[in-house]
Structure 1
Amino acid sequence: MDIQMDTLFEFIKQNWMLFLIALIVLFVIISFVKTMIKWALVIVIVAGVAVYSGVTWKDIDQVVTTVKDETVAKLKDQAIQAMKDEASKATYERNKDGSYTVKTPSLELIGQAGSTKVHVSLGGVSLGEWEATEMIRQFIEGAKK
C-alpha cells in the first residue's frame, strides 16, 4: 500500500495543476448548485480524476472495504465497552410481540425470546445482528433484575 501511496503522491506532484482545477470546480459546484445533480457532478469529477491518476476501481473498493471493516470493528468495541460501563443503567422491556428490548443511555439490544441473535444499536446507529454470547446474555439477565 505504501508503494501505491508513493506513486499517487508523485503523480499529484507532477499534475498539481489538474488537481487544483478539479478542486476549484468542486468548490464552485458545491457552493452554487443546490440540487441532487450537484452530487452527481462531484462524483463524476472525483471519479474522472481518480481514473486519470491511475487509481483503479479495485484500489478504491479495497480502501472502502478496509475503512468500513475498521469502522465496524471500532463500533463493536464501543458497544461492548458500553455494555460493561452502562450495565447498571440497563432497563429491560418485554414487547407485545414477544420480543424484548434492553436499553442503556447509548445502547439498545432487541431480541426474540429463545433466539441466539440480538439486534444491536449504539447511539442510534444499527450495528446489525450479533450472536448472543455469554457476555450479552449476562448483560440481558442483569437488565431483567
Structure 2
Amino acid sequence: MGFDLNANWDTWVQFFQDNWFVLVIALVVLWLVIRIVRTVVKWLIVAVIIVGIIVYSGYTLDDLKNIDLKEIGATVTEKVKEQAISAMAGEAKEATFTNNADGTFTVKSKNVELTGTPGAGEVKVKFQGATLGTWKIDDTIQALITQAKTNG
C-alpha cells in the first residue's frame, strides 16, 4: 500500500480546519507542561498528548505502519530538486564562476552552488547549503555555468 503525500496532506489540512480549537488547547497545554514541569514526567505528559492527538485524528497504528518512508523520501527529494532547478534558472544572472586551484570550478548564486571538474559531465550540487549529491550536467545546469562565466 503506497503513501500518497498529497492526499495525506489534504487529510491533515481538513483535520486541522475541523479541529483547530482542540489543537490550540493541546498546544497551550503542551507549552505549559514544558515550561512548568521539569522532570521525566513532563516528557511522559507530552507523549500522551501527542498520542492523544494522533488517536483523535483517526489514524491507527496500522495506518502508520503502512507509510512507505522510501516513497516519502523520494517525493521530498524530487521537490527539492525541482526547487534547485528553478533557483538555477532564476539566479543565473547573479551567478559567479570561479576556477579553483585544484583544477575544479565553482558556480555560486544566492541559493545554489555547483562544483565540478571541466569536461567531467557532472557537478556536485548544493541548494541553500544542503548537499543534493552529484548531478549530470543537463541543459539547465549548463546554462547556469555558461551565464556565470559570462557574468565574470
TM range (shorter): 0.5 to 0.7
Query: Tell me, what secondary structure is at the counterpart of 2:89?
Result: helix
The letter of the residue matching 2:116 is G
Q: Does 1:137 align with 2:142?
A: yes
Q: Does 1:105 align with 2:104?
A: no
Q: Does 1:116 align with 2:101?
A: no
Query: Tell me, what secondary structure is at the counterpart of 2:68?
Result: helix
The letter of the residue matching 1:63 is L
The letter of the residue matching 1:62 is D
Q: Counterpart in 1 of 2:95?
A: 90
Q: Counterpart in 1 of 2:85?
A: 80
Length, aligned pairs only: 134
Query: Tell me, what secondary structure is at the counterpart of 2:135?
Result: strand
Q: Counterpart in 2 of 1:127?
A: 132
Task: Give, in whole Å, the separation in 2 of the partners of 1:131 and 1:91.
Answer: 20
Deviation at 1:58, TM superposition (A): 6.3
What TM-score does the superposition give when structure 1 sets the normalisation length? 0.60
- Structure 1 unaligned segments of length 5 or more: list them: 6-26, 32-45, 47-54
Task: Give, in whole Å, the separation in 1 of the partners of 2:114 and 2:93.
Answer: 15
Contact kept, 8 Å, 2:91 with 2:109, in 1: the verdict is yes
Q: Counterpart in 1 of 2:22?
A: none
Of 58, 68, 71, the residue aligned with 1:62 is 68
Q: Quick one: higher RCO (CA 8 Å, sep 6+), 1 or 2?
A: 2
CA 82–58 in structure 1, closer or farther in 2 if over 3 Å, else same? same
The letter of the residue matching 1:79 is A
Deviation at 1:139, TM superposition (A): 1.2
Provide the aligned C-alpha RMSD in A: 4.3
What TM-score does the superposition give when structure 2 sets the normalisation length? 0.57
Deviation at 1:64, TM superposition (A): 5.0
- Provide, for residues 113-145 of structure 1, a one-character-per-residue CA deviation record: whole Å limited to 9, x for no partner: 111111111100111111100221121011011
